[in-house]
Structure 1
Amino acid sequence: MASTDDAKRNREEVRRLMAGIDDARANALLKGAIDLHVHSGPSTMPRQLDHMEAAEEAAAAGMRAILFKDHHYSVSPVIPMMERIFANPDFAMYSGLVLNNSTGGLNPFVVDAQLKMGAKLIWMPTAQAANHIRSAHRKTRLASNVQLRNSPALTVVDPYGEILDEVKQILDLIAEFDVILSSGHLHVWEIWKLFDEARARGVKRLLVNHPMYGLHFTYDDIRELAQLGALIEQSAGLYVDSRFNTYTPEDLREHILAAGVEHSSIGSDLGQVDNPTPVEGMRQAIKLCLALGFTDADVRTMVADNPARLVGLTS
């Protein structure tokens, strides 16, 4: 993780690079973009905007869709009410379920109910994953569950490294409903086991979030999982002018190229207080990618086409 001084230098370099990119060019690429990683509220953690405000801001920027993520509950059941109030047929809202203890853990009965209420994405454990808890020992900026009581550390494998039976049931449900499986904050070793089992059970939509941050990926892991069909999402908040900045601009370039543009996407992973809003984070990520030499077509592939395909939106 970047030190305070490193992060400051990173942010200064980001601002310098973004200054060379025309606002109109970035805003044009933001139109039609899809952010599959929005942390709006209410939440157990402070948020700077609620779900409706996040949707309004994204629609005003011309974005096509957003997906709400909370570590401790699913927004899916309330989206039909939000759609009725928002009433914008050109803008889509999605959510899903993170399999932390606070939502029932690795419980196929809860997953079944949420899928029948419209969940589009099932994340493996995040804040309560065993890997997350171990990684957070050094106080990384991975999502914190400090407001909640301690709970068991979750893993998807048994002591022999085999996928748990209840996880197999969850994978079968994900395949049946043809929704997205995210690796959550599992360790890369668990993710390989999980995705091999998922593919064998017919899961077609695979997503890896911020692979180089807290999940212990190597570049080879990124390349190989991308080649197997996983979409590799980079979190804008880790690279842009954000208090979560951890990596240099050149790191972003290398992280994207490890998977290849055709297998990459960008999600904001924003909504926290004292950070850019999700829309502003996406705008900054677009500018940064352009400054790093990615073409307009490359950027549109990562912020619009690839996430659209993953979530099942037609062109």
Structure 2
Amino acid sequence: MATADDTKRNREEVRRLIAGVDEALAASILRGALDLHVHSGPSTMPRQIDHLQAAEEAAAAGMRGLLFKDHHYSVAPFIPLMERVLGDRGVSMYSGLVLNNSTGGFNPFVVDAQLKMGAKLIWMPTAQAANHVRSAHRKVRLASNVALKSSPLLSPVDAYGNILDEVKQILDSIAEFDAILSSGHLHVWEIWRLFEEAKKRGVKRLLINHPMYGLHFTYDDIRDLANMGALVEQSAGMYVDSRFNVYTPQELKEHILAAGVEHSSIGSDLGQVDNPSPVEGMRQAIKLCLALGFTEAEVRTMVADNPARLVGLAE
């Protein structure tokens, strides 16, 4: 895992690389982009902006869409209210439900209700996933459970490695509503079992978040799950000039190429205090990808075309 000195060097290298990228080109690519990993507030954790501010900033940059994620509640029921306030800004807004204990865990009745209220995405457990808690014990900087009561560790499989019956019901609901299934912070072995079952049950939209961070993926896992049909999202905050930076610019290139541009996307994973804003994180990620040799068309594919297809805007 990256040390403080590693992060400092990485951030310096990012600043050096993006300084030479044409600002107007980066701004033109940002226009029309979607960020499907926005951590605005309110939240149990400190946030620098709220959901309305995040949408306003995205609209000012000409972005096409945002997906709001909180580990402990669903923003989905509030989207119609935000659309009434900001619906004329041209930004499509989405949210969904993370299946942590704080939101009901693997409760198919909660998932059914959220999907009927417009949830676009169902994440597997994150901050209360068994893999997350074990990884956090090893000092991986995954989302904190600060101020929350201890709760059972969550896994979608039983002691024999079989998908739980209630998770199967949830997968059936996701398939029924043609919603997106995210791997959350599960271990890669759990993700394999989950996605194989999801495909059998008709789930068409699969998303993997930051596969190399805390989820124990290999490059082969990334390639093979991408070939299964999953979109592989890299978190900008882990690569740009951010306090969450843990990877070199070259590693960003390697992580993208493991899945292939055609199966890759970039989400900011930002909104925390003392970090770039989600819009600024996306701007830096675009510039960094261009500096690393990705073409303008390839970067648009990752920040605009692929996420738009995942949420159904390209259909």
The interval holding the TM-score normalised by the smaller chain is: over 0.9
* Equivalence map 1:51-200=2 (5 Å): 51-88=51-88, 90-200=90-200
User: In structure 1, what is the Cα distance between the partners aligned to 2:187 and 2:147?
Assistant: 24
Q: What SS is found at the alignment partner of 2:122?
A: strand
User: In structure 2, what is the Cα distance between the partners aligned to 1:147 and 1:64?
Assistant: 35
1:261 is aligned to: 261
Q: What SS is found at the alignment partner of 1:126?
A: coil
Output the amino acid matched with 1:142: L
User: In structure 2, what is the Cα distance between the partners aligned to 1:88 and 1:222?
Assistant: 38
Contact 2:305 2:314 in 1 (8 A): no
1:291 is aligned to: 291
Q: What SS is found at the alignment partner of 1:88?
A: helix
Q: What SS is found at the alignment partner of 2:67?
A: strand
User: In structure 2, what is the Cα distance between the partners aligned to 1:285 and 1:89?
Assistant: 24
Compute the RMSD of aligned alpha carbons: 0.7
Contact 2:59 2:89 in 1 (8 A): no
Q: What SS is found at the alignment partner of 2:203?
A: coil
Q: Which 10-residue stretch deviates more, 87-96 or 266-275?
A: 87-96
Instruction: State the 4+ residue runs in structure 1 displaced beyond 6 angstroms.
Output: none
User: In structure 2, what is the Cα distance between the partners aligned to 1:216 and 1:314?
Assistant: 32
State the Cα distance separating 1:85 from its structure 2 match. 1.0
User: In structure 2, what is the Cα distance between the partners aligned to 1:37 and 1:193?
Assistant: 24
User: In structure 2, what is the Cα distance between the partners aligned to 1:4 and 1:84?
Assistant: 44
Contact 2:205 2:230 in 1 (8 A): yes
Unaligned runs of 5+ in 2: none
1:215 is aligned to: 215
Q: What SS is found at the alignment partner of 1:87?
A: helix
1:44 is aligned to: 44
Q: Deviations over 1:192-239 (max 9, x none)?
A: 000000000000000000000000000000000000100000000000
State the Cα distance separating 1:86 from its structure 2 match. 1.1
Q: TM-score, normalised by structure 1?
A: 0.99
Q: Deviations over 1:244-303 (max 9, x none)?
A: 000000000000000000000000000000000000000000000000000000000000
User: In structure 1, what is the Cα distance between the partners aligned to 2:5 and 2:197?
Assistant: 42
User: In structure 2, what is the Cα distance between the partners aligned to 1:314 and 1:130?
Assistant: 35
State the Cα distance separating 1:89 from its structure 2 match. 5.9
User: In structure 1, what is the Cα distance between the partners aligned to 2:104 and 2:153?
Assistant: 13
Unaligned runs of 5+ in 1: none
